[in-house]
A and B are shown apart, each in its own frame.
Chain A
Amino acid sequence: MIQAIAFYLFATMMITSGAVTILARNPVHSVLWLILAFFNAAGLMVLAGAEFIAMLLIIVYVGAVAVLFLFVVMMLNIDFAEMRAGFIRNAPLGVVLGVVLFVELFVGILVRSAGDLAIGNAASVSAVPAGLSNTAAIGALLYTHYLFEFEAAGMILLVAMIGAIVLTHRQRSDVRGQNVSKQVARRPEEATINVKPEIGKGVSL
């Protein structure tokens, strides 16, 4: 009973926030609604027993992707009025795509009731490990069986980081950075000059 209530709560919230994401006029609000949709999807995943995917959704999608979206939306000066101007022109294509998606969904649900599609090699799918949460099971695989790939993936992330810095970081001559040691080493007698200007002469700086 409580599961059903939780499911309907998460599902309704997710569909609502998904709808508001595309209906909101302000793109920043859209991204915030999208984050809410991700959180509800994570809740659905927890209900389905896939808590690892739920955490991934929150960490990867909310923590990284949605924040990236926010950055893009807020930093790029996108003219949304201009983008909306093409709405009528592209509407037929959108309607066609929508109909195709709907028909596919419908057919999919119809066919699903006729039984599973036999693809691949069902016998080789490994069994659910008993007595382990799936986070622990994935971790146990990653750190033993797939250790080499896991470590090499770390090197890929390092290369991605080096690459991003190499391609975007530049020394700018018009910006003054903070030099802490220089600041600390500065004495009052270097920082201030006592001058006694003669009358009518002014001070040279």
Chain B
Amino acid sequence: MDFIHSLAAVSAEELISSAGLVLLLVAAWGGDKAGRGIAIAAFAVLVGAAAIALPTLLGSVGGSASLAFEGHVRLDAFAAFAKLLIYLGAGVALIVAPAFFEREGGLRAEFPLLVLLAALGMGIMVSANNLLTLYIGLELNSLASYVLAAILRSNGRSAEAGLKYFVLGSLASGILLYGISLTYGFTGTTSFDGIRAAFGAGPLSVGATFGLVFVLSGLAFKISAAPFHMWTPDVYEGAPTPVTAFFATAPKAAALALLMRVSLGAFGAQPGAWQQIVIFASLLSIVIGALGAIGQDNIKRLLAYSSINNVGFMLIGLAAGTQAGASATLVYLAIYVVTSVAAFVVVLALRDAQGKAIESIADLGGLSRTHPGLAAALAVVMFSLAGVPPLFGFWGKFLVFQAAVQAHLVVLAALGIAASVIGAFYYLKVVKVLYFDDVVDKVRGGSEFANLVLLTASTLFLSPLGYLLTRWLGGLAGNAAAALFRLS
């Protein structure tokens, strides 16, 4: 009976994995010709999985967390919120990929499959309630991501990105595993509830502190928080643009949700031990992200530094260690995912007369006169990333800082606001190139219909119209954060 309940609880994962196996057979027999069809089918599967996850978030399933497989998996509103963001990011990657890869010599039939399996791994990550489940989910996602980064294997930059990601990612996995083994050794359990009880039983032992530090370091690598951010610009630049769009959205949401679950859940009894680490990583990410972006001429590298910078702001909400802080981080994360979608759809549309991708910011000079719509969308993205008030990006920053101030982290909030002014400099520099520089007139290519729909929807979300959604988004995030703090 309990086993049946467990199987029913992870039905989203079962749907994705069984559909993945069927599509693998289709890919094996149909070859690369079937690529587009598999991408559509994979998208439908993600929609189905999202439909399974949605009721939990809306609270119609009793609102309580359901534990499955003897407490190794925890499916609550928090996991559902993160899963929806993950499926959104993966779905967008599937929509934009076929057109891009057809220009690059054909979509591999395995591409949508790998995205699907990565989404499966991320779903396992965010619903992990045990260090083993955490690691298995993380590794499933990571392995698929390494291959995705290198999928254009005849392209030197793509291969380089894949290799770099693989080597550094394996290092991070090693660090994480070392932390997991120390934590297990000093608490005697791998279950999050058990670790929480062991941590709450008394002062933290030295060994357990080491375990905590290593686990957090390993996870900080996955969300590309400084000082573990070094791989991000190279991988974002080298990977094919749809893959970069995927990396900037889904795995980021999954790893951040996992970090929240581990720090607020498993390590929740000793907030003092991890808060200083999160605060340090947060400030360093904001500053490094802002300063590193200034000299960049490649738009994908710029967006990579911007993602480091944004992770810093999200960590401020986590550092607060409160339910309001967790909710603020989730709202910020949702807005950031949509911003990334808009940004990368614009980047995909930037092509010259030969259909080659334009990535240099200098080549975008005067884009507002040749392609006003594209320039306006990119300007909205940049203003929103900079947190300029009428746009929706401001709302996330506001909530995060508010949570930090309420948790008496005034200095952190003040430093964050000061550093966001540095960040505003390079975002506005891009807008200046778009609107006030001489016309370079290199950009030719237009967008496919699906990309245009995505771009319109995400830009409208970021525009002041997005504020109509604050109550709804805040409600969902609050529901998810409450589930995170509701301990079984």
Contact = CB atoms under 8 A, between A and B. Distances in A.
Given A152-B133, A152-B140, A163-B143, 15 more contacts: A119-B185, A119-B186, A120-B185, A121-B187, A121-B198, A124-B189, A148-B6, A148-B73, A155-B117, A155-B140, A159-B117, A159-B143, A159-B147, A163-B114, A167-B151
Given A146-B72, A152-B137, A166-B147, A159 B114 contact: yes
Nearest to B153: A167
A155 B10 CA distance: 15
Interface in B10-57: 10, 17, 24
A19 interface: no
Contacts of B150: 167
B143 A148 contact: no
Main secondary structure of the interface of B (DSSP, over half): helix
Contact of A120 (B73, B130, B133, B188): B188
Nearest to B207: A119
Given A119-B185, A119-B207, A167-B150, A152 B70 contact: no
Interface in B60-93: 68-70, 72-73
A115 to B, nearest CB: 18
A168 to B, nearest CB: 8
B207 A156 contact: no
Contacts of B405: none
A138 interface: no
A166 B107 CA distance: 12
Interface of B: 6, 10, 17, 24, 68-70, 72-73, 108, 110, 113-114, 117, 120-121, 124, 130, 132-133, 136-137, 139-140, 143-144, 146-147, 150-151, 153, 162, 185-189, 198, 207
Given A145-B70, A147-B69, A167-B147, A155 B120 contact: yes
Contacts of B140: 152, 155-156, 159
Interface residues of A, number: 23
A123 interface: yes
Nearest to A152: B136
A81 interface: no
Contacts of A162: 24, 110, 113-114, 117, 147
B100 to A, nearest CB: 17
A149 interface: yes
A97 interface: no
A119 B206 CA distance: 10
